Amino acid sequence: MTHYTGLINNYRSRLPIADGVEAIELGEGQTPLIKLRNIPSKLGIDAEIYVKFEGLNITGSFKDRGMTMAVTAAVADGAKAIICASTGNTSAAAAAYAARAGIKAFVLIPEGKIAMGKLAQAMIHGCEIIQIEGNFDDGMRLVKEVAEHAPVTIVNSINPYRLQGQKTAAFEVVDELGDAPDYHCLPVGNAGNISGYWLGYSEYAGTSAEDSFVINHFKEMEYDRSAKGTKTPTMVGYQAAGAAPFAHGEMVDNPETVATAIRIGHPQSWDLAHAVEKESGGWFDALSDEEILAAQKLLAQSEGVFCEPASATSLAGALRDLKNGRIPQGSRIVCTLTGNGLKDPDTAMAQCSDTPITTVPATLDAVKAAIIG
Ligand code: F0G
């Protein structure tokens, strides 16, 4: 029997966690890489498109990859409390891993702008929730200030262990496909995740610290970086049009989008993300809320995969760039679906307000009539 015990134990030699340190884990990682079978032909696209469904991590988003690392390192360092600002998913993951570790978590969330499922997670895991009358960027600024005065470890993606954990998703893609894809598409908020993936792909490819700002950024950490001889993909980051500092080339003061997970105007990984763009030959672009929601619905109705709105941004962008030729036909593409659709039932329901629900008496005749018409 092989009992899977999470990504730290699976990739420990390639992570900065020493052998003797017990992983605070919840079986995260090893998420499905699902090949689309209906959407390409429906849209007249000739491409091999996979979605990496991170919504199947334990708290329903990719944040678990970074959080198992951040909390394991914090606990090994003697920390008794962690803190983060969040649009919802980071707070859910922080709350769960703090509960698992038996330490305290404080989360700062923007009032009224987090999806119901994510708020429920923070509440049920028993963390301290501080709702602020501001947005994620305000929360992040406050977290950095508070951490200077209180004995709490920040577990946002500025914590270097976070991206170390998130890079394992790239390892999994390569381990499964045999090589990196031609293109890897992601939704971008703070740009931690796109930087984490690039770190993972670059380490497998054996890129040196002199050749990569991203590899160099982590050079103080000790672990195995030996090359696997694989290629690196072109990295493409997609944002929501109302919260698109990378696509527009400048910070955004009042970000707005239905994809609340990526409602971020002042991203934390600005320099790393620009290095990813340059080193991979990739680009950033923006999609309207309508395009994002249409992709979420298309994926749910054509493939049976229900992701949250922010996550659909990666697929929406990839499909648009395939149609306009920026991504060539025949390419092999992986789109990360960062979070589970169940996190945000309100937005899904609002999208389906014209879907008829027939109410009938509980009789065979009535049900037959409803089916046959
Ligand atoms: N997709 C989802 C579902 C997210 O929750 C986030 C970020 C992103 C994409 C963007 O990832 O920031 O690494 O570029 N959510 C953070 C949070 C901000 O607080 O949960 P990024």
Q: What global pTM score does this model have?
A: 0.98
Question: Judging by DSSP bridges, how do beta strands 183-187 and 234-240 pair with one another?
Answer: parallel
Alpha helices, DSSP H, located in 178-243: 192-205, 213-217
- Tokens representing 274? 């620009």
**Does residue 311 have its Cβ closer than 6 Å to ligand 1?**
yes
> CA 359, CA 361: separation in Å to the nearest integer?
7
What is the pLDDT, as a whole number, of residue 51? 99
Residues in the chain: 373
- Tokens representing 183? 């293109």
How many CA atoms within 13 Å lie on the side-chain side of 170? 32
**Does residue 156 have its Cβ closer than 6 Å to ligand 1?**
no
Residue ranges of the chain with per-residue pLDDT less than 50? none
Q: Could you report the per-residue pLDDT of 220-261, keeping only the tens digit for each?
A: 999 999 999 999 999 999 999 999 999 999 999 999 999 999
> CA 164, CA 69: separation in Å to the nearest integer?
7
Backbone angles phi, psi at 287, to 5 degrees: -125, 145
**Does residue 318 have its Cβ closer than 6 Å to ligand 1?**
no
Report the b/e string of 14-47 with b at 16+ CB within 10 A. Answer: bbebeeeeebbbbebbebbbbebeebbeeeebeb
**Does residue 200 have its Cβ closer than 6 Å to ligand 1?**
no
What is the pLDDT, as a whole number, of residue 355? 86
Would you report the helix, strand and coil content of the chain in percent, each value rounded to 5? 45, 15, 40
Residue 336, helix vs strand vs coil: strand
Q: Which residues contact 325 (CB under 8 A, 6 or more apart)?
A: none
**Does residue 135 have its Cβ closer than 6 Å to ligand 1?**
no
Residue 256 alpha carbon to ligand 1 centre in Å = 15
**Does residue 310 have its Cβ closer than 6 Å to ligand 1?**
yes
Taking the CA atoms of the chain, what radius of gyration do you get in angstroms? 21
> CA 114, CA 178: separation in Å to the nearest integer?
38
Alpha helices, DSSP H, located in 131-262: 136-147, 160-166, 168-177, 192-205, 213-217, 245-248
Please identify which residue in the block is written with the tokens 């960062």. 338
Taking CA atoms only, the protein residue closest to ligand 1 atom 15 is 261
